[in-house]
């Protein structure tokens, strides 16, 4: 064969290959992504040039990959536009130029068709190959085949070739330490990872490996619900179905396509470890989108295809700029729109999946003001109110009823239309909760962790609204205001009980209040925590990464009309003063006071492990001593 040219590759450094191997690309395996992308690029170029009448059209485009284990080679072939000798010199030898940029200047009417962005893509092959050979035949009329080879140094050889079909072969002679890539299973895995949604078939030893069709490139009207679910199951196997999805599509001021899924959150899931995949014109780029997606949406899953993102030369990382932030804002708005649409059009479905949506919505509202404008009125809370037929609010689900704050306030009497009563645990706070529900007052259920921050944020946003937990303060409407009768010494039962509990507890940090609580469901004693004091305690625990505990300073409210408290008062009144110490009745009444205090603490989750042991032991002893008195 006649040698057309000997020379050195025109680059802006003495040897670009060590840079490519060690600095430009973070992983060797991306060589296949780059070469297949170039092949798809060449196929699209041929199609566009044929439409313009600049070359002959051909068969449907495809990429073929062949492995020769004995020769230790991988061949990536395409039937694209090919190259003649001049184009090889310009696009391969002159690394500083990008073929995609020059081609786009001529066929700029269809820019989305070009996958490649970087002239360096071809040279990624030297990460795994000691020698690279290129054989090409241009689709231009009258073109001759060429063969180019390089051994990894700046020296190359360009000569006449023998390829008889239009397109290009890239033959990689693998280095000894890179022989893993002659395994078909390894190449198949790389095709699935990087090339699965490329728009032309990628064949390995004759079998098409990739899916070709990218659903996010279609319009929502072309897809059915099952198409979305099928994509989710394919991308994230064994994780069930998504809760809902958001289809993204915009051409201005940037090009963005994608489908984002709300997954069912795992209890032990990592909030900041996203699983959204970033593509560039259907070519997988990265699974890290922290620079693009707002942090509160990182737990979402799915695909973003953004050709205009400012990727670095290896496509492995983003260069943050104003456009990236703008894309993040667009995504947040579209997610907010989708949530608002679901709440408005399918409220029951929205209510059914709310517990999984709640962390996204609440954290997002606190972090992103524009997102808050979309979703603040869509935040749901479980409620003790029941849904009536024909009512849109509360929303009835199998798990209970849900309402918005606005819906709650509309149902409140006029005098309470700015106060929201809530609990964080209907079980442990049952005693206080019963006081409110017995009076037909609606109570919401808030999340103990997220809502410790969300409720104050909501109060700041809605200045006329305040939240008060069921075990905060009780107003006069909960108590019997009938004046108490004093005995001969001038003390009434309330004062006697207060003194009894103060003596028994012997703790200045506990404030004892004695009142007559209305209702048969009223407990013998309960702990009250002023709302602001409890919030400060919860925030302090959160900062120390601990679960909130009962503050040392708290109120013990004793219900003097409860049968147990009445009996306690009689027991204490029967105490006989002796010179040798407290009487048995005094000792027993003090132990019952301490027991009631601990039971009240238990009702707010305020007992530590050792205190629970004390409570159990005292319960057994008290029962035994009381039974002895019956004999």
**Domain 471-630, CATH number (from 3.40.190.10, 2.170.120.30, 1.20.120.790, 2.60.40.10):** 1.20.120.790
Of 490 and 500, the one with more pLDDT: 500
What is the rounded average pLDDT of the residues 502-513?
Answer: 92
pLDDT classification of 23: cutoffs 50, 70, 90: very low
Span 260-273, average pLDDT: 71
**Confidence band, pLDDT 50/70/90 cuts, at residue 56:** confident
CA atoms within 13 A on the CB side of 243: 23
Average pLDDT of every residue of the chain: 84
Choice between 412 and 547, residue whose per-residue pLDDT is larger: 412
* pLDDT top residue among 295 and 445: 445
pTM (2 decimals)? 0.81
CATH number of the domain located at residue range(s) 14-208 in this protein: 3.30.565.10
* Per-residue pLDDT at 194 exceeds 90: yes
Domain boundaries, the chain: 14-208, 215-376, 471-630
Residue 468 — left, alpha, or beta (φ > 0 → left; ψ -120 to 50 → alpha)? beta
Per cent of the chain over pLDDT 70 is 85
> Is-contact 285 315, C-beta < 8 A?
yes
- 215-376 architecture in CATH? 2-Layer Sandwich (3.30)
Give the range among 38-47, 94-103, 173-182, 336-345 with minimum mean pLDDT.
94-103
Residue 577 has pLDDT above 70, yes or no: no
Which whole number is the average pLDDT over 110-117? 40
| Binding residue positions for ATP | 34, 38, 78, 83, 168, 315
Sheet containing 73-78: give its strands across. Answer: 3-8, 155-160, 146-150, 129-137, 167-174, 73-78, 63-68, 202-204, 207-208
Query: Looking at residue 225, what is its pLDDT?
Result: 96
Provide the pLDDT confidence category of residue 152 given band limits of 50, 70 and 90: confident
Q: pLDDT (tens digit, 9 = 90+) per residue, 349-363? A: 999 999 999 998 999
pLDDT in the model for residue 575: 60
Query: Tens digits of per-residue pLDDT, 583-602?
Result: 888 888 999 999 999 888 88
Residues marked as binding?
A: 34, 38, 78, 83, 168, 315
pLDDT at 625 over 90: no
Strand ranges in 516-611 using DSSP code E only, listed in sequence order = 525-528, 554-559
CA dihedral of 572, 574, 579, 584, whole degrees rounded to 10: -70
Q: Percent of the chain having pLDDT more than 90?
A: 48
């Amino acid at each position: 064969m006649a040698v057309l040219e000997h020379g050195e590759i025109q680059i802006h450094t003495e040897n670009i290959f060590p840079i490519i191997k060690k600095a430009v690309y973070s992983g060797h395996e991306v060589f296949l992504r780059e070469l297949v992308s170039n092949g798809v690029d060449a196929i699209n170029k041929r199609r566009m040039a044929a439409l313009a009448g600049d070359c002959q059209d051909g068969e449907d485009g495809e990429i073929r990959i062949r492995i020769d284990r004995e020769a230790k080679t991988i061949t990536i072939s395409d039937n694209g536009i090919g190259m003649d000798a001049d184009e090889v010199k310009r696009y391969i030898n002159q690394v500083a130029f990008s073929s995609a940029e020059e081609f786009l200047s001529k066929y700029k009417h269809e820019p989305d068709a070009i996958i490649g962005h970087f002239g360096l893509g071809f040279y990624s092959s030297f990460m795994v190959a000691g020698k690279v050979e290129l054989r090409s035949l241009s689709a231009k009329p009258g073109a001759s085949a060429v063969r180019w080879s390089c051994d990894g140094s700046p020296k190359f050889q360009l000569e006449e070739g023998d390829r008889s079909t239009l397109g290009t072969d890239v033959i990689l002679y693998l280095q000894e330490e890179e022989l893993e890539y002659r395994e078909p299973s390894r190449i198949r895995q790389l095709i699935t990872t990087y090339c699965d949604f490329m728009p032309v078939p990628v064949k390995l030893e004759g079998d098409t490996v990739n899916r070709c069709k990218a659903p996010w490139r279609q319009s929502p009207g072309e897809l059915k619900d099952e198409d979305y679910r099928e994509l989710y199951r394919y991308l994230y196997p064994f994780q069930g179905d998504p809760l809902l999805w958001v289809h993204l599509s915009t051409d201005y001021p940037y090009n963005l396509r994608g489908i984002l899924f709300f997954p069912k959150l795992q209890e032990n899931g990592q909030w900041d470890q996203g699983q959204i995949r970033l593509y560039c014109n259907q070519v997988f780029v990265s699974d890290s989108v922290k620079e693009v997606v707002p942090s509160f949406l990182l737990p979402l899953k799915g695909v973003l295809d953004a050709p205009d993102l400012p990727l670095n030369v290896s496509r492995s990382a983003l260069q943050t700029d104003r456009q990236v932030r703008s894309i993040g804002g667009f995504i947040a708005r579209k997610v907010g729109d989708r949530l608002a649409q679901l709440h408005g059009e399918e409220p029951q479905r929205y209510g059914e999946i709310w517990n999984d949506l709640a962390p996204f919505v609440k954290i997002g509202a606190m972090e992103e003001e524009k997102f808050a404008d979309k979703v603040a009125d869509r935040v749901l809370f479980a409620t003790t109110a029941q849904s009536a037929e024909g009512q849109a609010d509360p929303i009835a689900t199998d798990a209970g009823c849900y309402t918005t704050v606005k819906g709650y306030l509309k149902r409140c009497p006029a005098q309470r239309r700015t106060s929201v009563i809530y609990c964080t645990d209907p079980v442990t706070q049952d005693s206080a909760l019963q006081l409110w529900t017995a009076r037909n007052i609606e109570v919401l259920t808030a999340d103990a962790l997220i809502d410790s921050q969300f409720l104050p944020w909501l109060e700041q946003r809605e200045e006329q609204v305040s939240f008060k937990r069921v075990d905060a303060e009780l107003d006069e409407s909960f108590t019997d205001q009938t004046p108490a009768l004093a005995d001969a010494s001038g003390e009434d039962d309330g004062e006697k009980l207060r003194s009894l509990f103060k003596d028994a507890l012997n703790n200045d940090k506990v404030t004892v209040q004695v009142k007559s609580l209305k209702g048969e469901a009223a407990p013998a004693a309960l702990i009250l925590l002023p709302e602001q004091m409890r919030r400060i305690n919860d925030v302090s625990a959160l900062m120390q990464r601990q679960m909130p505990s009962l503050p040392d300073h708290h109120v013990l409210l004793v219900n003097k009309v409860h049968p147990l408290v009445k009996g306690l008062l009689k027991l204490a009144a029967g105490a006989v003063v002796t010179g040798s110490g407290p009487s048995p009745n005094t000792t027993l009444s003090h132990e019952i006071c301490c027991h009631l205090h601990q039971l009240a603490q238990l009702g707010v989750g305020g007992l530590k492990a050792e205190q629970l042991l004390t409570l159990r032991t005292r319960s057994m002893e008290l029962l035994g001593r009381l039974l002895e008195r019956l004999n």
